[in-house]
Structure 1
Amino acid sequence: MNIVEVDNCNIHVYANLYQGYGAEFSKIIAEKPSVDGLFEIYPKLEGNVTGYLLYIDGVPAALTAIETKSPAEYEICDFYVVPYFRQNQLGKQFITQLFKRLRGSWEIKQVAGADHAVNFWRRVVSEYTDGHYIEDQYQDKKWGLVTRQRFNHV
């Protein structure tokens, strides 16, 4: 397992993997690809949004985009594991390593209809925090009704 930050040398790998993520969520968020058949990467990896890639045996297996809202305050904007690699809890291991690396406080949101994502995040955050997290639902300006988990490192 190798986690690398996205930079100019590997942004194309992130963009390629993102197409699978965009396709998987396209029905839930009612978003079509462009006339070129590509999904727009949102949020863009710039400013306070950093991308990470997970490689397994040299093969890109997952991506995440994390927004730094303030020092040591993070939001997971995107998280995707290629279906082939959705085994052996690789997604959980990937994000857990980033939780440990960055520490701080975290917020994760899932759009209405993404029940698989809600279940994944509940399991991961509950186990990581030993059940010490807050979950709620609210109306997000961009995404509408979302389920949200929040926790702080102690």
Structure 2
Amino acid sequence: MPVTLSLLQFPLSQLESLTLNGSSRPSLLRKPTAFSLTPRRTALPPIRAMKSMQGRVVCSTNDKTVSVEVTRLAPHPKYKRRVRKKKKFQAHDPDNQFKVGDYVQLEKSRPISKTKAFIAVPMPPRNVRKTPEAVPEDLGLPLESQQI
């Protein structure tokens, strides 16, 4: 009943454009209200998830582009065990400095091409042993057994 009453308010020329499959102008079908029902958007902080990732270079054949394989651990949907998931990303390498096997960090940037939105940044090696010269053997303090 309320639909027919609201349709009677419009002139006949506007009602002819209404069809059963919904191809009418949405402004004609709205009820007039004194205030807007659309929620106003507030300034929310941007989501910065996955801003940087680490991975291994698997292909460096292209000019100024490296293919980086990022491995992450994700829970299995059925067994709830963490399994390794791999994904390849194209990253920008402006100086062609990375070779296959290098570990790099991917920094999010503006889209550089259709498939590139990351910049490859060098990462320090993870398990580097310190040289013997860097580690002092004697601190210059006498041992407890040497004290009199």
TM over 0.5: no
Query: Which structure features the higher share of strand residues?
Result: 1
Query: Which structure features the higher share of helix residues?
Result: 1
TM-score category, normalised to shorter length:
under 0.3
Q: TM-score, normalised by structure 1?
A: 0.21
